[in-house]
Amino acid sequence: MDTWAAGDGTRPLDGILDDYLERLCWLGERVRVLDAESDSELAQGALDGVDPWGRAVIDGTPYPAERVSLRPA
C-alpha cells in the first residue's frame, strides 16, 4: 500500500516533487486554465508549479488535475 494512502501524512508527490518541477512545462509562464469537461476558460495566470497533491498552482490558487487542463496563454 502506498504510504500516503495509509494516512501517515506523506503526500502523493513527496520525494519526487523537486524533480517533477524541474521538468514541468510552462513553469513561470502565463497559462489558461480550462475546464476538462466543457473546455471553458476558468482562469489565466502564471503557473507557479504543482503542489504535493498533484494540483496545478496558478497565481497561488490550486486546481485539481482531474478537473482542469492547462494551455499556454
CATH number at residue 40: 2.30.30
58 lies in a domain? yes
Question: What is the rounded CA–CA span in Å between residue 39 and residue 7?
Answer: 34
In a domain, 7, yes or no: no
Whole-number pLDDT of residue 6: 58
pLDDT at 9: 79
Q: Is residue 52 part of a domain?
A: yes
Nearest 5°: the CA angle 43, 49, 55 is: 70
CA triple 42-20-28, angle to 5 deg: 50
pLDDT at 45: 98
User: Which domain, by its residues, includes 55?
Assistant: 27-72
Taking alpha carbons only, the member of 58, 60, 63 closest to residue 26 is: 58
Q: Is 45:30 a contact under the CB 8 Å cutoff?
A: yes
* Tens digits of residue pLDDT in 10-64: 899 999 999 999 999 999 999 999 999 999 999 999 999 999 999 999 999 999 9
pLDDT of residue 1: 44
Per-residue pLDDT at 5: 59
**CB 13 within 8 Å of CB 54:** yes
